[in-house]
Structure 1
């Protein structure tokens, strides 16, 4: 299959990641895919100024970008390409027009490879817990994830069942898993944090796990693309 055709499989409204390399430290932000114009432009919404206001000066016509998104399939795959911002519109809404690429790359999401992310979640069910806890997913694979719970020293037994609730773009999903590893880290002059390794229950969660990749936009090393 022609790799360029994969871009046309992306549904409108899905989250994509834009990386700008014109600074000493690459800037990344997540936004929504809007559409394609006559096979010439890949259109996304401009970043939310409330979250990414400090990036606006780095976004201008002609700047080089890397675009990444996740396509669902049997295993799911990460699609990435390099291009340039052709122009930016302000009315009736703020949009970024990116030149359609000549080369598109794809990588399958393998169950044994973990990707860095920062995806907020809520622990809604866990043995020994009498309340919900806010947590952050710091890496993610099809088979599991690592959670960090800040300012808490949780006493949780290994092999306990856990429910994780994720909310984004008006979606609400719960993924079940098993706590396979847990440790509490105490650092000097800082509150404790609990780190947990979670194994997903794949047979029940497979489709929802793929949605997590689409929501979190896994962090692929920019040198690979």
Structure 2
């Protein structure tokens, strides 16, 4: 009755519309509308929370394979940068010098990225000058004798030695990266491994072409 009297008092079209809105709110819009609003609000909230939490969860997820990949790739990259540094003053071919500069430009930042991951995971970052000697057995890294040979070479002899050694070095990196792709849990680390496989496989083809010119 209260609702009906309220409607009668409203004589204008605007009044009727206003009263109707009040009637709906007071007399029966409470149930479904409120529940619907509550569910919609909860759904949006849950979706937002989930979306914001997912990247953090994904970034923090890692396993032993990710740690092994980072700890093995850091000294491997450091040696590649060291080899690339030698090319500046010893290489004869402008193409070899450019390739060496490209390798350094790509791998130096990756060392920082890999080191940052290990720190965030609470794992040890390999010390400067430290070597994973198990990588020598797989051919993934140059031995001290091979590095000395490269340091003592110059001109065309350096170009040939550099290309042969860097092909071998890249093949080791590609193998390590493929293992990470298969076994890693960190999405970021697996993604980096994919970039390493693509980039270094392309450089291997390029170096084989240059080697054929020497």
TM-score tier after normalising by the smaller chain length: under 0.3
Instruction: Specify the structure having the higher radius of gyration (Cα).
Output: 2
Question: Comparing both chains, which one has the higher relative contact order based on Cα–Cα distances under 8 Å and sequence gaps of 6 or more?
Answer: 2
Q: Tell me the TM-score normalized by structure 2.
A: 0.19
Structure with more of its chain in helix, by fraction = 2
Structure with more of its chain in strand, by fraction = 1
